[in-house]
Amino acid sequence: MNWFWFAIIALLCWSGSDFFSKLGCVDSRDRYSHLKMVIAVGAVMGLHAAYEVFIGGTEISWQVIWTYLPVSLLYILSMAMGYVGLRYIELSISSPICNSSGTLVAVATIIVSGVAGMNGWQLAAIALVCCGVIGLGVAEMTEDEELRRARQAKGKWQYAKNWRALLLPAAYCVLDAAGTFADSLVLETLDEDSANVAYELTFLAAGVFCLAFLLAKRQRFTLRAEVPKYTGAIFETAGQFAYIYALADKEHVAMSAPIISAYCAASVLWSRLFLKERLSWKHYLAIFVTVVGIVIMGVFDA
């Protein structure tokens, strides 16, 4: 049953990454919080890459790094966009939209190659996620401002109606889907462990670049503000580690994949319990439809 526990750990870690990243990026007064989050993730991933190379024995070279660079940049840019978006929208809404990238890849596959090889469940999952995400957008942008303020009254943060709030997680979804599609092509020629280390080292380089930029801007770093960011970074890296081991058990991928893919549902739960986010019934209905579609996609993508 090791696969099960690794899947649960991945679910909890990635939902924890969502939660702590939200805490680290939500301060609207800090216009560079997303760059500080990139620094945190880069630092933790750099440490993990060092462990994989010097202790785990993973082989890495400049050729691997350059080959995987386009994929790494798409993933890093998508995460940075997601961090910016956390300032303007509830985590309960952002996470399901961001986590719909796998379905976007499936839609792109249908456009390019048609529905050959896809069964009815997969097509239904794609339809559910698309309807759910569109429903979230409709619920968000048509909600009355007085009702919005009333439901947000007991929450930790208040948000105004803003198209940018939806466009940023949507941008994450598109960029992450492009990264996933490119990943599937590049990994035909690269070892997966080496590619993952290349990604982590590129993230480290991005973090160093962001740090140099912020130091030039004379930005301050405070322990209180940075702790959530590094906690989220640790959860992100730990989730990736558990994810790899969960899917390594090929006999149980059909069960571990949907468990992991449902981590956005846990993110919604944490946001409800700890951030006191309250949504309308239309939001929750759209979230439910989206999560159901993502889980079904996880089952048949295994």
For the chain, the average pLDDT equals 86
Task: Give Cβ neighbours of residue 270 (< 8 Å, ≥ 6 apart).
Answer: 15, 16, 18, 19, 91
Q: 30-84, pLDDT tens digit by residue?
A: 889 999 999 999 999 999 999 999 999 999 999 999 999 999 999 999 999 999 9
Which pTM was predicted? 0.86
pLDDT given at position 57: 94
What pLDDT does residue 230 have? 97
Judge contact between 256 and 247, C-beta under 8 A: yes
Sign of torsion, CA 264 265 268 270?
negative
- When pLDDT is averaged across residues 145-160 and rounded to a whole number, the result is 80
Q: For residues 270 and 277, what is the distance between their CA atoms, to the nearest angstrom?
A: 9
- The gap from C-alpha 11 to its chain's centroid, in whole angstroms, comes to 12
pLDDT computed for residue 164 by the predictor: 77
User: Which residues fall within 8 angstroms of residue 260, CB to CB, at 6 or more apart?
Assistant: 7, 10, 11, 14, 243, 246, 298
Local confidence band at 243 (pLDDT 50, 70, 90 cut-offs): confident
Which two three-digit tokens encode residue 118? 């896809």
Could you read off the pLDDT of 181-193 as tens digits, one per residue?
A: 888 788 788 888 8
For 123-136, how does the pLDDT look when each residue is reduced to its tens digit (9 = 90+)?
888 888 888 888 88
- Are 8 and 212 within 8 A, CB to CB? no
Confidence of residue 240 (pLDDT cuts 50, 70, 90): confident
State yes or no: pLDDT of 257 exceeds 80. no
From CA 195, how far away is CA 59, in angstroms rounded?
A: 10
Structure tokens at 216: 């030039």
